[in-house]
Structure 1
Amino acid sequence: MTPTVPPTVPPAVAAARTLIEPVLRRAVARLDPITARVARYHLGWADPAGRPLPAGGKALRPALAVLSARAAGGNVERCLPAAAAVELVHAFSLLHDDIMDGDRMRRHRPAAWTVFGRSETILAGDALLTLAGEILLEPEPSGLVEAARSLSLATRSLIAGQGLDLEFERRDDVSLDECLRMSTQKTGSLLACACSIGALAVGAPAPLVSGLAGFGAETGLAFQLADDLLGVWGSPEATGKPVLSDLRARKKTLPVVAALTSRTPAGDRLARLLARSEPLSEADLRDAARLIDEAGGRAWAETEAKHRLDVAERHLSDAEMPAEVRAEFLDIALFITSRDH
């Protein structure tokens, strides 16, 4: 796959946002006032005071769900509850993730928990997760039962991955295989679901569903690798978070673990630096970033991300679908793994 980044949001994403946002807004309108105000803020529909804002998020996962229905030649309208449900699960995961990681910024503005408090934000995440199952099973159930099962399994895998992420913060012996497995669960599972749930909803054949899920899982891992690189070397303008944010939290991200397990002098020095009990200074953080690079962690992550995108493309090549749908899947994969937006 040629690493050329589409200059703007892919058309399929913009089209999906138009289709999905009314479904999401109707769903969130069912919530109680306390959780609804947190949800509307988190989804980018309102400011902290509840005043409407002109636009929400990118709706990348719903776009993938809609594309998967189109890949199967199905009625897109039939997959909209499934596409919206995936986005609600994603929103739930981010609300809780920011609290667990102590991240104070999300999408270039204060994270919801810093505005509304931890307790209300946890409740809002719980409400969105419950709402996902509710809207998915309301329409005529043919095809949507399997879609609901797929989303449930993906959510459970996501939660297991987040649990491993938290555990790794307390361990000094995390292997690269363990870190890859955690990232596959935490990020790849939901993206695999997004890329196949629309096809499930319209009754697609099993080989197509499997191929789309494989594409999503590999793209999800490439996305996580790109995100981890930004967590060390990204600018606040690109990430919406403070510079060196992952290192400041001493997170065992993929480039960090690749460096720590490199058996190099730089990797050993990095291990000693991250093992200090006192908070790391800005100079320490810059030194840690340099050591990760010197130990090969950055190069490994960049190479691995390209490899995962190549594998993702092979999954699409092996699946039968219209050529224009395949091209739109690839555009979105490049867009979400470029990570300069």
Structure 2
Amino acid sequence: MTTVQASSSVPELLAHCGQLVQPALREAVGRLHPWVAEMAGYSFGWCEVGGAPAPAPGGKGVRQALAVLGAEAAGADGRAGIPAAVAVELVHAFSLLHDDIMDGDATRRRRPAVWKAYGTGPAVLAGDALFALAVETLAAAPQGAGTVRLLSGALVDLVRGQADDLLFATRPWTGPERVTPEEYRSMAEGKTGALLGCAAALGAVLGGAGEATAGALDRAGRHLGVAFQLVDDVLGIWGDPAVTGKPVGGDLRERKKTYPVLAALGCPAARGLPELLDAPGRAAEAAALIEAAGGRTAALAEARARTAAARALLAEAPLGADAAGQLLRFVDHLVNREL
């Protein structure tokens, strides 16, 4: 059987799952139009513009690992989760291509975003192709109809979360129309958590799990997604640029309504914060005031609460012991990274 060793570290787990999934992912992308396949390969970090092999790896492979672990948690060989892993990686790449266009983000993983490298129209086309390929991949898998329904439900939630995130940018910092921390958590569960939960649930279903097990993994993944997003928010303000690849205070300069900011704005100690957020060149002062008002502490506390909720769901679900242990370590690793 192809399973993750119980003693594996999380980096080893990610590497193992990547080695398991990458051949199938590359084979799927290879079925696309050559130009579209090149853009997809660029988005995954496999090649440069023009198709030359890229020296640096792509993303972490979090979603594909959850799909493989979901299959193993159901007692199956990890290879049973490969179609799920391929599908969620394709959907994740599709969402990033379109997100970068909507947000106007010119870089992704220290390189020009696909829309900057190839143009907006081609990037939209590549994203559409990745989405269609994800559906085709699942439809051809065992229990295809049920897995496509799971993916479709997650995509509805992802789009809802993305819509909320875009609308948040138009709302004021203060007053009755302000974005609340509760609204932000709901947005993050859709935009980030839905696909993480779907990845684990899809792997479990392809591994033969029942509805209760798949549902528990889905809910745990959604909690993990919120925690993951909150940690990203903290790193986006106070993270080390050498680790995050983002400039210090970049999220503040872009006036993003992240959780630490929203939590701090509800505190009397943050008086004057809206003016700092709107003033060019004062990101460092804003970061200090957000921390003093408890924004950083609130974000990390909520992330840990979501982690505890995910752990409780995993502990109660009827999962294979080794895979359950790996999932628990995986949860802790994602939330405690670089903090």
Report the equivalent of 1:230. 235
Report the equivalent of 2:15. 14
> What SS does structure 2 have at the residue aligned with 1:10?
helix
Distance 2:8 2:116 in 1: 33
Residues matched between the structures, number: 327
Q: CA deviation at 1:135?
A: 1.1
Q: CA deviation at 1:74?
A: 2.3
1:256 to 257, 261, 265: 261
Distance 2:315 2:89 in 1: 26
Report the equivalent of 2:287. 289
Q: CA deviation at 1:116?
A: 1.5
Report the equivalent of 1:91. 93
- The code of the aligned residue for 2:230 comes to L
* 1:132-171 CA-partner distances (Å, limit 9, x unpaired): 00111123x4x23221111111111111101101100000
Report the equivalent of 2:187. 182
- Whether contact under 8 Å (1:176, 1:261) holds in the other structure is no
Q: Which moved further from structure 2: 119-128 or 218-227?
A: 119-128
- Whether contact under 8 Å (1:34, 1:120) holds in the other structure is no
Q: What root-mean-square deviation, in Å, do the aligned CA atoms of Structure 1 and Structure 2 show?
A: 1.9
Structure 1: 4+ residue segments shifted above 6 A: none
* 1:87-133 CA-partner distances (Å, limit 9, x unpaired): 11111111111222222222232222222222211211111111100
Distance 2:161 2:72 in 1: 30
* 1:47-78 CA-partner distances (Å, limit 9, x unpaired): 22311135443322111111111111124333
> What SS does structure 2 have at the residue aligned with 1:188?
helix
- Whether contact under 8 Å (2:70, 2:207) holds in the other structure is no
Alignment of 1:188-337 (within 5 A): 188-262=193-267, 264-266=268-270, 268-274=271-277, 276=278, 280-282=279-281, 284-337=282-335
- Whether contact under 8 Å (2:72, 2:207) holds in the other structure is no
- The code of the aligned residue for 2:184 comes to C
Report the equivalent of 2:70. 68
CA change 1:107–1:336 in 2 (3 A) is farther
Give unpaired runs (5+ residues) of structure 2: 1-6, 173-177
Using structure 2 for the length normalisation, give the TM-score: 0.91
Distance 2:74 2:9 in 1: 26
CA change 1:339–1:7 in 2 (3 A) is farther
- Whether contact under 8 Å (2:84, 2:202) holds in the other structure is yes
Report the equivalent of 1:137. 139
Percent sequence identity over aligned pairs: 46
> What SS does structure 1 have at the residue aligned with 2:89?
helix
Q: Which moved further from structure 2: 9-18 or 65-74?
A: 9-18
CA change 1:333–1:292 in 2 (3 A) is same
Report the equivalent of 2:163. 163
1:121 to 114, 123, 136: 123
Distance 1:240 1:124 in 2: 25
Q: CA deviation at 1:258?
A: 0.8
Distance 1:152 1:239 in 2: 31
Report the equivalent of 1:24. 25
Q: CA deviation at 1:40?
A: 0.5
Q: CA deviation at 1:206?
A: 1.7
CA change 1:46–1:76 in 2 (3 A) is same
Using structure 1 for the length normalisation, give the TM-score: 0.90
Distance 1:246 1:100 in 2: 16
- The code of the aligned residue for 1:122 comes to V
- The code of the aligned residue for 2:275 comes to R
- The code of the aligned residue for 1:21 comes to Q
